[in-house]
Each structure stands twice: as structure tokens, then as C-alpha cells.
Amino acid sequence: MSAVFRRLALEAGDKIMEIYGRDDFQVKTKSDNSPVTIADEAADAIISAGLRAEFPDAVLVTEEQAESHSAKADSFIIVDPLDGTKEFIKRRGDFTVNIAYVENGTPIRGVVYAPARGRLFYTDADGQSVEETGLFAKDTAGPVTPISVSKPDNGALLVVASKSHRDQATDDYISKYAVKDSKSAGSSLKFCLVATGEADIYPRVGRTMEWDTAAGHAVLAGAGGKVVCFADHTPLTYGKVDYANPFFIAFAPGVALEFAD
């Protein structure tokens, strides 16, 4: 499964970058007022066709196919073919391809590929998260490095937050901590920065859907990290009725979490 997810993410990434390199591309607005481009749709077509060929019996939920959103199962594959569409449109590079497998409410396998950043993260066959470097050949993995979360210093935390959705509520929550450095990043890269130890905590006080977070959640969990609900610090789970997430916090376990006011 991990090898298939990796290959399809790379194939989708190639198509996304082909469109990214054009002088212009059409941007449409979906029913929820979020943007969508031909890159989202083309990447979705590549990934969906590949997954259906490899796993014909699996339940597939993908952001760009509204009919899939009513699918319910204990285990399913969930896809965001281009996470960070706003970053893509603004040509800021912080967009990713996300593919994850959820079992009994928990993302246990995932790949996050940031084609414009040249970074590829995934869980291997044993559930350990790795970052791959090299040429990203489709059928042969390059050198991989196991990744793990930081051992945070609660007197000097490294925080990452959303680039496109950072607001006063987020800043108010971050102010509860002793922060050494705070940075912004787009898409599922925020989970991956916590997974590699480049950040200690990522609070999200804003709307997300399960396809936005499942792959990054899997990568973070495979690196020893956790994701909990913002309100009560219970584990964030998947397969909810509308696939909408509550606010959440992704973090290295050594972080002394604060509750919101």
C-alpha cells in the first residue's frame, strides 16, 4: 500500500507542477466557496484511477468527488489531490499531495508530497515515517531517513501555524506558550515539520476536513507525534458523518499542552 500511495503521489505531483509552470490557469469556486483548479482535478483523476485499479474493493473518499463523501466504512482511503490550493494559486509552493489509509478511525498509512519543495514523507510498510531524498523515481524508492518528533523544551517551543488561515484566535492560543520561534507554512507540511522535529506544535483553530489532515496525521503518528482535539485533548478520529474536523493540536508528546480559555 505504501509503495502504491508513493507512486501515485509522485505521478500526481508531476501533473500539478506541469500546470503550475503555465502562465495562467483557470480558478473556479466550489459550492463551499473554496477554490479549485484544473491541477486539483487532474491530480484527482490520476490518483483515483490508480487507487481503484490497485484496491478495487477499498472505499475511496476524495475531496474532489462529492459523491464519495457519503461513503462510510470502518476502513477507507482518503485523498486530497492538491492540499493548499490557495498556496498553489498564489505560487507560494506550500502545497501537497495527500493520500492516507484510515482503519477504525485512525490514519495508519500516509504519504505527503510537496512537489514544489522537493520533499516527500510517508509511512513505510512497518508504519515508521520516513523522508525520502533523491530523484523520486516512480517505481524505486530513493534513500530514506527515518524521522521522529523533537524532545521539546517547554521554555523555548518551536511553533508552526497556517499560512493562509492564521488569525487572532490562533495567536491567542500560541501566546499561552513560551515560544522561541514561530513560523507559517501551508498545507500538510505543518504536520511534517512537527514529524521531523523542525517544529514542536501545530495548533489549528479553524475549519479543516479529514482529507486535509489524514495523511499528515499518519506521518506525524509514525514519527511518534500525536493529534488531539482542541477542546478536550481527546484523540482526533476519522470517519465522521460529514468528514469535518474539530479544531485540533498536532504536537510532539513532550509538549505540555495548554487548554483554550
Q: Is the pLDDT of residue 56 over 80?
A: yes
Locus of grid cell 469556486: 29
Report field, pTM of the whole predicted structure over 0.85 = yes
Our CA dihedral for 210, 211, 216, 217, rounded to 10 degrees, sits at 30
pLDDT tens digits, 26-51: 898 887 888 899 999 999 999 999 99
Q: Give 161-184 pLDDT, tens digit per residue.
A: 987 777 899 999 999 999 999 999
Per-residue pLDDT tens digits for 205-247: 999 999 999 999 999 999 999 999 999 999 999 999 999 999 9
CATH number belonging to the domain at 157-251, selected among 3.30.565.10, 3.40.190.80, 3.40.640.10, 3.40.50.300: 3.40.190.80
137 Cβ neighbours under 8 A, 6+ residues apart: none
Pairing of strands 35-37, 27-29: antiparallel
Q: Which CATH class is domain 2-146?
A: alpha beta
With helix as H, strand as E and coil as C, how does 125-185 read? CCCCEEEECCCCCCCCCCCEEECCCCCCCCCCEEEEEECCCCCHHHHHHHCCCCEEEEEEE
The reported pLDDT for the residue numbered 107 is 98
State the pLDDT at residue 191: 98
Query: Distance of alpha carbon 29 from its chain centroid, rounded?
Result: 22
Alpha carbon distance 150, 199 (integer Å) = 8
As given in the structure block, the three cell numbers for residue 189 are 507540511
Domain extents in the chain: 2-146, 157-251
pLDDT of 165: 74
